[in-house]
Chain A
Amino acid sequence: MNRPLVEVHHLYYRYAASSPDWILRDLNLRIHAGEYVLLAGASGSGKSTLCRALNGLIPHFYEGVMEGQVTVRNLDTRSSTVGELFAHVGMIFQNPAAQLFSETVVQELAFGLESLGLARQEINRRLEESAEMVGIGHLLDRNPQHLSGGEQQLVAIAAAMALHPELIVLDEPYASLDPANVRRIRSALSRIHQSGTAIVISEHRLQHVVADVDRMCVLDRGQIVLDGPPRTVLSEEITAFGLNAPTVVQMAKAMGLSDVPLTVEEFKDAIPAFTTEPDLGPNPPAAEAHGPFPVLQTENLWFSFEKTPVLRGINLTLYPGECLALVGANGSGKTTLIKHFNGLYRPHHGRVLVLDQDTLRTKTSRLASHVGLAFQNANDQFFRFQVRDEIEVGARALKRYNKHWLDELTTLFRLEPLLERSPYRLSEGEKKRVAFAAALAAQPEILVLDEPTTGQDWPFRQALGEFLRDLQARGQTIVMVTHDLEFAEQYACRWVLLAGGEILTNGHSWEVMGNEPAMQRAGLEPTEAFQIRKAFLEKAR
């Protein structure tokens, strides 16, 4: 066999000499030319660190302690500079906006080629070729900062591909993208794979990746614990490593099927006739009985940004004790809508009533004590030195401070060990928990969560689901905004589907997902669980 493209040999790494824990511990890995490899693992398992070790950012950009050896095409990453390695290994980061820095897409694609010192004609040839391969030819003159998150990721991929690398490394590229954009990037990556470039990708939501890759490596506490074709790896027990197998895999295992399917199509072909659907734990909750008076109402709500309507006649009623999911693609108006719930935005037409108070006539500081809103990026709100202050500050400002309730929240979100720590030093999942507690600190009647699962691993999602169930059991009204349909299906009793600033349909998750034209217009795909259920119903007929 040929010499591997990348060889990782007994690699140890920690970010500071003073920290006692190794992030990577005795890690060994060989990647061959043209392979498509998934790195799976819970948050903190070392995926991002490993990605950065493959192109020399570790050890050159980070001042940590590295032991062992990484070689790329016979170049030792320790003795070669990033400048020598970057054309062999292209890197695409998680945050799309923070890796693009040019005024136009053309300049963005040209940047790496200029670094290589290529001639003008060659630069133009290569950037056009790369733009075409990735499918962004129509975006060349645009400003990268004005593109959608999905388009930005494609630009970053094209910028890496223009260098003709032998390997590209993508660190959770799907984290903040909606399903339609995930599909676009998946197909671009498949084309790249077919052209012979090796790909390493890390991702939490396995169902988006397993069908594409040749190989799956599971990381746990800095080591590779499972490695092989995805079917082989997924036939093992992976929950202990903080991973949740795709629904089709779980279902096939529960039915005792011998082959592990990776897609719903494969699953359909594999199920024998006359089988009934196995039970996989609690079904999506049905809409629950609720009080007679709504806590929140929007009546024919219209809102525009610079004369472009973003919300078009939204009529929505929220009853006490409900857990409602606002689902839709990025840019469908979800976040704009929830910003109306506490008066951050005021309707241009129509009105919004929160506990019978018209938001046009009520101050945000007053509405905020009834509606607790936690936005996607928890870092937007931290300014105190201790988690405890951070949770209390809102309640004090709203004059709704209640020590007893704050203690309860601390227990509910398991924050006791973190209270004295600085919010900035927490993991992203812990930060989210602090932000949720802060949103509830003033005992609001309505809790609103904006994309709560973005970029989070399975253990976090499970814990969040439990918090939501506990809160619902106390009668808390919850609204979550998400394009993570798997999560919404499990925990929300009612869905409202948004597209282009309008409500397309509204009801139980199965009703909404069963409305194919609406789902298509919204750019969403039904969950695997729903598709499987449909397959069984069709078989039974």
Chain B
Amino acid sequence: MTIRLDPRTKLLLAVLYAAWIMTTRSLPWLLAELGLLWLGVVLVREGRTYLKWLRVLMAMTIAWFLIAWWAFDLMAAVTASLRLLSLSSTFFLFFRTTSPYDLSNALVKSGLPYEVAFVFRTSLQFVPVITRKARNIFDAQRSRGIPLEPGWAALRHYPALMTPLLIQAFQLADELAEALEARGFSRPGRTFMQDYRLQAVDWAVLCGAVILLLAIILIP
């Protein structure tokens, strides 16, 4: 796809699409919505990542399905799980096509405080770093004979994983705060390397989406 949309447009589109999913009651329409999302996934060439991610989501969906079936009936369970699948796929598509950096900067332009936006995008950036730290701690403790392999024993020893991880996360936060300060984070009058402006195509897409959604909801 070559159309470059503003991150804010994409966010609004995702929210509108989610609203559509939430208001849909009929099974064929729900299936169509999911099908449309899959088409999107294929178009942006994220199929492989999507399948990997779907494998993780499936466990949750099945649990969700069983609970709904037990609480209501089969039909409700099918709709509920389809909705869950579609909603999460919508935001999968959104986050795979929008960098947190662009999104947060665009939101800052619309008035979100820079500090809030910065925390949002940096916390995403540091998930892999923390995961790596957790793995190192896991290895270090197992090397000492502390059983942290999944199982009941691990529950008892779980401070051996959590304590060093928490302390290192705080240390990392301190070091980062210092590095940020040394690069002028708190200096007033920040500019941005990239500009974010809603183009004609953004407005057109948004208007079209709103009209479509209203039509779908209002025309039975």
Contact = CB atoms under 8 A, between A and B. Distances in A.
B144 A439 contact: yes
Interface in A80-114: 81-84, 86-87, 90-91, 93, 95, 97-104, 106-107, 110-114
Contacts of A115: 183-185, 187, 190
A162 B195 CA distance: 21
Contact of B191 (A103, A117, A160): A117
A382 B139 contact: no
Interface bracket on A: 35 or more
Interface bracket on B: 35 or more
B141 interface: yes
A377 B126 CA distance: 19
Contact of B142 (A97, A111, A364): A364
A345 to B, nearest CB: 9
Contacts, number: 165
B141 A120 contact: no
A398 B129 CA distance: 30
A102 B104 CA distance: 12
B129 A145 contact: yes
Interface in B175-214: 175-195
B113 interface: no
A111 B183 contact: yes
B88 interface: no
Nearest to A110: B193
Interface stretch (A176-184, A186-194, A367-375, A533-541): A367-375
Max chain A C-beta neighbours (<10 A), residue from B126, B133, B139, B180: B139
Given A93-B179, A115-B190, A344-B142, A379 B125 contact: no
Interface string B137-155: 1011111111101000000
B144 A145 contact: no
Interface in B78-126: 99-101, 121-122, 125-126
A360 interface: no
Contact of B143 (A124, A342, A379): A342
Contact of A339 (B99, B121, B139): B139
A119 B145 CA distance: 57
Nearest to B183: A112
B23 interface: no
Interface string A497-517: 000000000000000000000
B167 interface: yes
15 contacts: A55-B182, A91-B179, A110-B193, A111-B183, A114-B190, A115-B183, A117-B191, A145-B125, A145-B129, A160-B183, A379-B164, A393-B146, A397-B145, A397-B147, A442-B145
